[in-house]
Structure 1
């Protein structure tokens, strides 16, 4: 009788864990979708998968390749929304890609690229690489330091 109760209890636990994992996965997916859209200078920009490479879809539906692997995302603010930094009157966003090391390693590497809207044109910066994973919005120098002003 105890074995039967244990089996039922274990079955219920696995069901609960599976349900929780499913909710977390759908929550992560919706968060990621939010981090892949930003409005900059009145234009909606969307990050898209272009043959396993990150690209920026402009309002006219053309793609700007970013020379970074997919998946990628915009930096986010404290509310979890894509962040636009303004320097002078120039809006700037950062696109991030994280690559994790093998499964049992805590290492994380990231690369990012700033994109500014200057004189009505989108201009990507050079790509910066880090031996850690950048989180949050970053510092203003992350947005401005990759460009020649």
Structure 2
């Protein structure tokens, strides 16, 4: 089930931004390395809850998609570009026409976009896109 969610998220990222590289760590640890610090992303899934329905189980899966970037000489411009990417990716992920093609995904709830400067890096930042995916599973 989780691999279905990851595949869906990746497909929406790569549809518009094939240059983004995946950081394949299970959890963000503040040390992703110089190679991945620019134009990379990481998907974190946590705290899954479920509800038993009449004929199936429904799982709510909170997801955080982190996108990383560097400012170099144009910090504001690169930061704005990263936020634009985040908005576009979130729009794709929550688009009903896109997730209804995946039978197990019932809904995707819009969340928030948060940004921060990375500690111990020069002009590097991270944007977190938070949303919840609801999937159905029959027993």
Q: TM-score range by the shorter chain?
A: under 0.3
| TM-score, with length taken from structure 1 | 0.27
Q: Which has the higher contact order (CA 8 A, sep 6+)?
A: 2
**Structure with larger Rg:** 1
| TM-score, with length taken from structure 2 | 0.28
